[in-house]
Structure 1
Amino acid sequence: MILCCGEALIDMIPAPVTTGGTGFVPHAGGAVYNTAIALGRLGVGTGFLTGLSRDLFGEQLRQGLEESGVDVGFAVLSDLPTTLAFVRLTDGHATYTFYDENTAGRSLFPDQLPDLPDSVRALYFGGISLISEPCADFYAGLALRDADTRAIVMDPNIRPGFIRDEARYRARLDLMIARADILKVSDEDLEWILPGPGPLAEKAQAIQSKGPRVVIVTRGSEGASAWLADGSHAEAPARKVKVADTVGAGDTFNAGVIEALNAGDLLQKDRIADITAAHMESALARGAEVAAVTVSRAGANPPWAHELSGLDLA
């Protein structure tokens, strides 16, 4: 099982209303939630660890997980409200305003770390759950505790406008990056982590030297690159599709990569070093395929396995 650890929230997506003007429609979302949903729909054994509200939006989130085949038994339930993210779309590109104070997802504490079964062989972290305290310390504590025995996959999906204490966030991020096995960042994330001049490849290798065996860098429509433990490099182009919006694109790309590596029995602690450039090219291509379907339709609506071509990780 892959255990996705992080936020589940409601994206309030703008939509026209019959009386004129624009309203907001609630869609289940959140970076880590989107990846969990995508993995479940791809047929990967997936669990989800988050703080989940018992309110109506929490029920909507739970229903979406269950309908996509994701195990919700790891969730920590509470009567606190669900996080809301109001979305603004500009030429298909999404920006967000979050309402996150004292919510169920944010109110997880390090002393609540669960004991995980041996069936969980990889942990996936990312999103705003690595920014907001106290839950950020909860997830960091879990990653550091289990990094010796389980593969750690991480996509910080950095949102600078959401960060209130940059020094604390950078310190926490550095600790988690050092223990990650696979780190995925966008080119914008990479520039934020390592600001200043220098080519992308040089910065990717610099961050790889901090601990991750595999570093993946996505560049939107320009595709993705990866630097591997054996010193090799892999590339894959993005798929060309008509874009409805970019909500959940990176999250579902991650799911495709994880699915591919898991299918090759490579997503476990003692196999990360065995990932070759050929393996990673296939994984990046799968990620691009999954993301292309998502961006071609409104909102974070990842594809099911039957909507995609067969997976070949030979």
Structure 2
Amino acid sequence: MILCCGEALIDMIPTGRASGQDAFVAHSGGAVFNTAIALGRLRRKVGLLSGVSNDLFGTQLATALGDSHVAVDYLVRSDRPTTLAFVKLENGHASYAFYDENTAGRMITTDVLPKITPDVGALFFGGISLACEPCADTYAAFLDREGAERAVVVDPNIRPGFAPDEGRYRARLMAMLARADMVKVSDEDLAWIMPDHAGLQAQAAALQACGPAVVLVTRGADGAIGLLPDGDMVEVAAERADVIDTVGAGDTFNAGVMARLDEMGLMTKAALRRLGPEDLKQALSFGAKVAAITVSRAGANPPWLDEL
């Protein structure tokens, strides 16, 4: 099983009304939630570890997970409210206003973390849960506790505005990246993580030198690159798509890469640290393919395996 660790929230998506004013529709979302949903739809064994409310939105999230074959055994349920993210779309790109104080996801602490079973072979971390405290400290502690023998994948999805103390955020994040076997970043994420290096390849190499064996960098319409454990690089082009919006694109890409690696028996710590160019290129290409379907329709709606 791949256990995805991080936020599950409600995206309030604007929709036009006859009056000309926007209304908002509640969609299940969150970067880590989206990755788990995409993995489930690609028929990989997957679960979600997240703080989820008992309120109506939390019930909506749990139901959506089950409908996409994501195990809910690791959800930490509470009576705190659900995080709400109000979305503004401009030319297909999303900006967000988050309402996250005292929520079920944000307030998850180490004393309520579940024990995980031996069938969990890989851990995925990412999203705003790595920036917001106390949950960010909780997920860092969980990585320390469970990551030594399991494959660790991190997509930091940088959100410095969520962290009141940027120094604490950067230090915690760099410690987690150092323990990862594979890291996926956007080109913008990479520039923030490695501000003292110029150029994408130099920044990616500097990140790899911090500890992860494999570094993946997405570049939007310019495709993605991957640095292998030996430092060599592979590159894939973006799939052509009629873009409706980019919500969930990176999350689906993550799922596609991990799904293909898992299918090939390569989602282990040892396998990722000796990954070869053909296997990585195949995984990147599959990630680009599933992401292209997501951007061709509204919202974070990853494809099912039979759609491929």
Q: TM-score, normalised by structure 1?
A: 0.96
Q: Cα offset for 1:230?
A: 2.3
> Is 2:203 the counterpart of 1:203?
yes
Alignment of 1:14-25 (within 5 A): 14-25=14-25
Structure 2 partner of 1:85: 85
Q: Distance in 2 between matches of 1:272 and 1:20?
A: 51
Q: Cα offset for 1:203?
A: 0.7
**2:269 alignment partner, SS class:** coil
Alignment of 1:68-79 (within 5 A): 68-79=68-79
Determine if contact 1:47/1:71 at 8 Å carries over to the other structure. yes
Letter in 2 for 1:290: V
With 103-112 and 257-266 compared, the bigger mean Cα shift is at: 103-112
Structure 1 partner of 2:37: 37
Q: Distance in 2 between matches of 1:88 and 1:218?
A: 23
Q: Distance in 1 between matches of 2:111 and 2:235?
A: 41
Q: Cα offset for 1:60?
A: 0.8
Alignment of 1:1-314 (within 5 A): 1-196=1-196, 198-308=198-308
Q: Cα offset for 1:146?
A: 1.8
Q: Cα offset for 1:160?
A: 2.7
Determine if contact 2:41/2:305 at 8 Å carries over to the other structure. yes
Q: Distance in 2 between matches of 1:110 and 1:54?
A: 19
**1:7 alignment partner, SS class:** coil
Q: Deviations over 1:70-129 (max 9, x none)?
A: 000110000110000000111000011100000000111122232110000000000000
Letter in 2 for 1:22: D
Determine if contact 2:76/2:113 at 8 Å carries over to the other structure. no
Q: Cα offset for 1:164?
A: 1.6
Q: Distance in 1 between matches of 2:219 and 2:305?
A: 25
Letter in 2 for 1:72: V
- Structure 1 runs of 4+ aligned residues shifted over 4 Å read none
Q: Distance in 2 between matches of 1:139 and 1:2?
A: 15
Q: Cα offset for 1:274?
A: 2.6
Q: Cα offset for 1:229?
A: 0.8
Determine if contact 1:230/1:273 at 8 Å carries over to the other structure. no
Q: Cα offset for 1:197?
A: 5.2
Q: Cα offset for 1:196?
A: 4.4
Q: Cα offset for 1:194?
A: 1.1
Q: Deviations over 1:291-314 (max 9, x none)?
A: 000000000000000001xxxxxx
Determine if contact 1:112/1:138 at 8 Å carries over to the other structure. no
Letter in 2 for 1:84: L
**2:240 alignment partner, SS class:** coil
Letter in 2 for 1:306: D
Q: Cα offset for 1:18?
A: 3.1
Q: Number of matched residues?
A: 308
Determine if contact 1:232/1:276 at 8 Å carries over to the other structure. no
Q: Deviations over 1:200-256 (max 9, x none)?
A: 101101010000000000001100001011222111111111110000000000000
Q: Distance in 2 between matches of 1:228 and 1:113?
A: 33
**1:245 alignment partner, SS class:** coil
With 46-55 and 266-275 compared, the bigger mean Cα shift is at: 266-275
- The CA RMSD measured in Å over matched residues stands at 0.9
